[in-house]
Amino acid sequence: MKTTNDTPITKPEDMSTNRAWATRAFSNAADLPISLVLDGQAIHGIPAAWQPVVNRRRIDANITETIFEGTDSGTGLNVRVECTEYRDYPVVEWVAWMTNTGHAPTPVIRDIRAMDMTFKGTAPVLYHCNGDYYSVDGYTPQELPLNAGDTAAFAPNGGRPCDGAFPYYRVMFEGWGLSIAIGWPAQWAASFNALADGVQILAGQEKTNLRLMPGERIRTPRMTVMSWSGDGSRAVNLWRRWYLAHILPRPNGQPMPTLLACAATDEGEEFTAATEENQIRYIEKFNQHGIHPDVWWIDAGWYPCYNKDHVRRWWITGTWKPDPERFPNGLKPISDRAAQDGADLLVWFEPERVQPGTALDVEHPGWLLRAPDSDNGLLNLGNPECRQWLTDHVCKLIQDNGIKIYRQDHNFPPLEHWRKNETEDRQGMNENLHVQGYLRFWDDLLARNPGLWIDSCASGGRRNDLETMRRSVPLHYTDYGYGDHPVKLAFHRTLYEWIPYFKECTLSWDLTGNERFDNQLDSFSFHCGMAPMLFATLDIRRDDYDYALARKMLAIWRSASDLILHGDYYPHTPFHKSAEKWVAWQFDRPETGEGFLQGIRLPASPQETTTIHPKGVHANASYVFTNAETDERRDIAGEALMREGFTMALPARSGAIWFYCQVAQCPER
């Protein structure tokens, strides 16, 4: 359905633009786009005096790796830069490793930049976002023209990479642009410095001022740069396609499916009232109502989390085993019962937070980093003994309890725990080693538990950098506004552009007030909950729901979710968070000639209709549009669709999804 100009598939001009700068950056070791200061001397790339060597190898049909490596004979500092070039997409990635191969500490290494490079172009505009920080203002995209002499600088808050900043950027020049991601699950910093003829980009770990002890090794963030020609819409969909092809996890080697999640528990904070008996009973009750989840979700509170009065508080973390009072047989009876209905068990963990009096606090106090004014001990994943113990312990929990989805949260800022435990000539070391340990922990979990996949959470969506996303999906992308329809739809608009897989729920706070999980069932909550994973927030203890409506809307979600994940994405309304407007967007799969348009008239919108001009329509084709909720059908000629658009009329607080296909490619409906 796409015209040649619209297609997000890689074009020759994308690849030629990519080669132009990549050849300049990665042909010679001295020109590599990294920099540092060693013993007061500024160094860019790997100097010729370090006798660099270059090795190239083909990883597979689409990926080539080039490794540059050199050593400073005076200090023993070895620098290794690993560069990955994609042949099917205009993408280059690189990461640098620095190792002390000598017998004495190195001089101070500071201001390490994973990216120090200038891109030539005219009229640059920077597109960025402010990430997630439990605010109505989160995930807000911003557009900043860069005039010569301007500098735009960014860093997250407190050591979690998406907290108040977002490590994903677009720089658009006239006719082409760059999409840039900083893969660092901790405290990064980036600046964009406008020059007369281009933009200098600097990025790396925010603070490095350290000596490496003999044998020690640190790394930089992994930088990802995609080149593209055309407009921002091409940039979005080329990124989405590359992400699905090369980043989104593939459990058991298979593409990540769209999934329905359900959960239930008795009254109490989070899952502190969950028991073996009530979990099995609620699984069976969902089944009785004809709702069959793919994922059974157990969140915080399943472990012993008792305070001094023997009251369970979910945040008392540090004793990782099923609470024997409520789960005398562990979680295995629950995972077995869920599996009978085809559901996998998801279980929440927060291993990096250790509360006073818990098992880790009592038995391994030396593994914890402390910070002033914080009761939270940070489990030091930069300690190899600690990280190995955690890996073995969590693997046993996964295997003994039939856990198929490992959900890791991180509910406090770790930065001061790292920095307050370092001397002035070791600043950045704790953070760097922790990042290495965190990624190694996840890699080992995945390697030792075939088919396992990981859900990344950090007080919502505060640790969703690309290095984390290579190993996980961010199901819980925010703690803010679960049932606030205008706000969460705005959040979706940003997420669809960068991280195609996330979870949404079916809460409606305009009916219930801001109670987190109190829900009234209606079709509107489903329209505002369309995402690759849907959490059906049905209180299964109730029998007064219209479960037939739930089943009908879940069937529509099943049809739409695959298109949401795999389709090209086109927003048809501006970014906003207003209940007085419409939201409309389109997901299209040109390979199969199908897609859908969705319109949502928010509760206070006075506008009775909206007209969408779909992307990629052919004038000489005919299209069939079907509303699965009402069974209405429209047959529209492509020429008329291009000229007049597609008009929806809806009552306030309602939505519609119109599936479409080209007549020649429509299945029987």
HEC secondary structure over 376-434 = CEEECCCCHHHHHHHHHHHHHHHHHHCEEEEEECCCCCCHHHHHCCCCCCEECHHHHHH
Residue ending a domain, among 433, 451, 474, is: 474
Q: Which of 433, 430, 434, 428 is nearest to 37 (CA)?
A: 428
Residue ending a domain, among 217, 246, 275, is: 246
Q: 226 and 333 share a domain?
A: no
Flag whether pLDDT at 515 surpasses 90. Answer: no
Is 320 domain-assigned? yes
Mean pLDDT of 390-418: 98
How do residues 156-171 score in pLDDT, each as one tens digit?
999 999 999 999 999 9
Q: 304 and 438 share a domain?
A: yes
Query: Could you tell me which residues are beta bridge partners of residue 654?
Result: 601
DSSP per-residue codes, 489-555 = HHHHHHHHHH----EEE---HHHH-S-TT-----HHHHHTT-SSEEE----TT-S-S-HHHHHHHHH
Measured CA to CA, the distance from residue 417 to residue 160 in angstroms comes to: 12
Measured CA to CA, the distance from residue 611 to residue 117 in angstroms comes to: 44
Flag whether pLDDT at 668 surpasses 60. Answer: no
Tokens linked to 159: 């050591």
Q: Which of 432, 429, 43 is nearest to 211 (CA)?
A: 429
Contact 129, 139 (CB under 8 A): yes
How do residues 376-399 score in pLDDT, each as one tens digit?
999 999 999 999 999 999 999 999
Q: 462 and 593 share a domain?
A: no
Rounded alpha-carbon distances, angstroms, from residue 164 to 32, 191, 204: 30, 15, 17
Is 251 domain-assigned? no
Q: At what angle are helices 485-498 and 232-246 packed, to 10 degrees?
A: 70
Percent of the chain with pLDDT over 90: 94
Measured CA to CA, the distance from residue 249 to residue 412 in angstroms comes to: 26
Helix (H) or strand (E) segment spanning residue 14 = helix 12-26
Give me the pLDDT at residue 516, please.
Answer: 62
Q: 217 and 290 share a domain?
A: no
Q: 317 and 176 share a domain?
A: no
Q: 94 and 148 share a domain?
A: yes
Give me the pLDDT at residue 669, please.
Answer: 44
Contacting residues for 197 by C-beta, under 8 A, at least 6 apart: 120, 121, 122
Amino acid, res. 469 = M
Q: Which of 296, 299, 295, 297 is nearest to 271 (CA)?
A: 299
Is 468 domain-assigned? yes
As to burial, measured by CB atoms within 10 angstroms (0-12 exposed, 13-18 middle, 19+ buried), residue 9 is middle
Q: 185 and 263 share a domain?
A: no
Residue 433's φ and ψ, nearest 5 degrees, are -65, -35
Of the two residues 360 and 592, the one the predictor is more confident about is 360
Contact 221, 188 (CB under 8 A): yes
Sign of CA dihedral 550, 632, 596, 600: negative
Mean pLDDT of 548-552: 96
Fill in the DSSP letter of residue 136: T
Fill in the DSSP letter of residue 156: -
Helix (H) or strand (E) segment spanning residue 441 = helix 429-448
Flag whether pLDDT at 6 surpasses 80. Answer: no
Task: Look at the chain and report how many structural domains it folds into.
Answer: 3
Give me the pLDDT at residue 521, please.
Answer: 85
Percent of the chain with pLDDT over 70: 98
Query: Could you tell me which residues are beta bridge partners of residue 64?
Result: 58, 85
Q: What is the CATH number of the domain that holds 629?
A: 2.60.40.1180
- Expressed in percent and rounded to 5, the helix, strand and coil fractions of the chain are 25, 30, 45
Is 649 domain-assigned? yes
Measured CA to CA, the distance from residue 275 to residue 281 in angstroms comes to: 10
Measured CA to CA, the distance from residue 213 to residue 583 in angstroms comes to: 56
**In residues, how long is the chain?**
669
Query: With left for phi above 0 and alpha for psi between -120 and 50, is residue 351 left, alpha or beta?
Result: alpha
Q: 457 and 400 share a domain?
A: yes
Tokens linked to 118: 């200038």
Q: CA dihedral defined by 140, 141, 145, 149, rounded to 10 degrees?
A: 60
Q: 293 and 439 share a domain?
A: yes
Q: 239 and 275 share a domain?
A: no
SS3 state at 353: strand
Flag whether pLDDT at 1 surpasses 50. Answer: no
Is 27 domain-assigned? yes
Sign of CA dihedral 165, 599, 239, 147: negative
Helix (H) or strand (E) segment spanning residue 334 = helix 332-340
Measured CA to CA, the distance from residue 473 to residue 464 in angstroms comes to: 8
Residue ending a domain, among 246, 281, 315, is: 246
Give me the pLDDT at residue 3, please.
Answer: 36
Contact 590, 3 (CB under 8 A): no
Average pLDDT of the chain?
A: 95
Query: Could you tell me which residues are beta bridge partners of residue 312?
Result: 306
Is 21 domain-assigned? yes
Amino acid, res. 666 = C
Fill in the DSSP letter of residue 105: P
Query: Could you tell me which residues are beta bridge partners of residue 171?
Result: 126, 178
Is 496 domain-assigned? no
Q: 196 and 53 share a domain?
A: yes
Q: CA dihedral defined by 547, 550, 556, 559, rounded to 10 degrees?
A: -90
Fill in the DSSP letter of residue 18: H
Of the two residues 456 and 545, the one the predictor is more confident about is 456
Tokens linked to 40: 């007061």
Is 189 domain-assigned? yes
Mean pLDDT of 216-233: 96
Report the DSSP pairing between strands 622-627 and 632-637: antiparallel
Contact 462, 160 (CB under 8 A): yes
DSSP per-residue codes, 40-76 = TEEEES--GGG--EEEEEEEETTEEEEEEEEE-TTT-
Measured CA to CA, the distance from residue 281 to residue 334 in angstroms comes to: 10
Fill in the DSSP letter of residue 324: T
Flag whether pLDDT at 228 surpasses 60. Answer: yes
Q: What is the CATH number of the domain that holds 393?
A: 3.20.20.70
Structural domain for 652, as ranges? 568-665
Amino acid, res. 54 = V
Give me the pLDDT at residue 518, please.
Answer: 66
Q: What is the CATH number of the domain that holds 47?
A: 2.70.98.60
Q: 149 and 278 share a domain?
A: no
Measured CA to CA, the distance from residue 455 to residue 345 in angstroms comes to: 12
Contact 218, 98 (CB under 8 A): yes
SS3 state at 439: helix
Give me the pLDDT at residue 643, please.
Answer: 95
Amino acid, res. 127 = Y
Query: Where are the strands (E) in 230-340, listed by range?
Result: 259-262, 295-298
Query: Could you tell me which residues are beta bridge partners of residue 38?
Result: 41, 109
Fill in the DSSP letter of residue 228: E
